[in-house]
Amino acid sequence: MKMKVLAINGSPHAQKGNTALILQPFLDGMKEVGAEVHLFYTKGMKINPCQGEHTCWFHTPGKCFQEDDMQEVLPKLIQADILVLATPLYVDGMTGPMKTLLDRFISIGDPIMELRDGHCRHPRRPGVKDGKLVLVSNCGFWELDNFDPLIVHAQAISRNLGREFSGALLRPHGPALKAMVNQGMPVNDVFEAAKEAGRQLIQDGRMNADTLKIISRQLVPRQQYVDIANQHVRKLLSALEDK
């Protein structure tokens, strides 16, 4: 049977963003080995914030009273063997639209609390798949540890959804990747590794740590990155002063 993948990209830059640069080959790799992939961009979708009224628990079990684009996402989530959350790092976490979408996942949980692995949880409603969760992210700062808070969050979400956290494709100093592509510099190994991680996840059920390391590899030394970024910023600011 085909593995079903639900991917959500929470970048306001959607297809044109730095997150998409890593997400796309990852999904291509999964498709190449037979996965069925559904990709949603939060940009352009109408997803209202959860109103916290618990209507989906106590009035219309499993169904939110808000009629918006979550009605397209939830049926895919229920069936997904693999859930891919792709987001740029915003204020040390995920983007607002991604969080808004995730808050609406509450309708797939049963209100009765249980103790699972020694911790309070809400069980999934009958028919909701467990499966895996993968994080894809990129950020503006240079260091890999900028992702630490987001990884902890993604791991917690995995536990709450009853999904196994399968790891993360992380691209620090992400904006350098597109700049290097545009300048014809050798970065193809990063894209190939993202594709390979996708193939591995479907075929082997796990991603190889060495493959993930290539995706996060240093693109430019830190001081050089800071200098180039600041040069670019100064140019933009002085153009503003000239106006």
Ligand X SMILES: Cc1cc2nc3c(=O)[nH]c(=O)nc-3n(C[C@H](O)[C@H](O)[C@H](O)COP(=O)(O)O)c2cc1C
Residue numbers at the binding site for ligand X (CB under 6 A)? 11-13, 17-19, 88-92, 138-141, 146, 174-175
Nearer CB in complex with ligand X: 78/220: 220
Categorise residue 80: left if φ over 0, alpha if ψ from -120 to 50, beta otherwise.
beta
Specify the residue, 140 or 162, whose C-beta has the smaller distance to ligand X: 140
Measure Cα distances from 157 to 160, 169, 221, 237 in Å. 5, 17, 33, 40
Q: Which is closer to ligand X, CB of 21 or CB of 74?
A: 21
In the complex, the smallest distance separating the C-beta of residue 172 from ligand X, rounded to whole angstroms, is 7
The residue sitting closest to ligand X, measured at its beta carbon, is 17
Least distance from ligand X to the Cβ atom of residue 180, Å:
13
Going through 117-228 in order, the beta strands assigned E by DSSP cover 119-121, 132-138, 164-171
Query: In whole angstroms, how close is the CB of 10 to ligand X at the nearest point?
Result: 9
Distance CA 100, CA 159 (A): 19
DSSP class of 16: G
Nearest approach in angstroms of CB 233 to ligand X is 12
* 175/198 with CB nearer ligand X: 175
The least CB distance from residue 229 to ligand X, in Å, is: 10
For residue 137, the minimal CB distance to ligand X (Å) is: 8
Residues near 53 by Cβ (< 8 Å), separated by ≥ 6? Answer: 65
**Of 159, 139, 137, 24, residue with least CA distance to 85:** 137
Nearer to ligand X, 88 or 198 (CB): 88
Output 25 or 131, the one with its CB closest to ligand X: 25
Report the candidate in 100, 78, 76 with the shortest Cα–Cα distance to residue 87.
Answer: 100
Q: Compute the half-sphere exposure of residue 134: CA atoms within 13 Å on the CB side of its CA.
A: 30
Other beta carbons within 10 Å of 209: 8
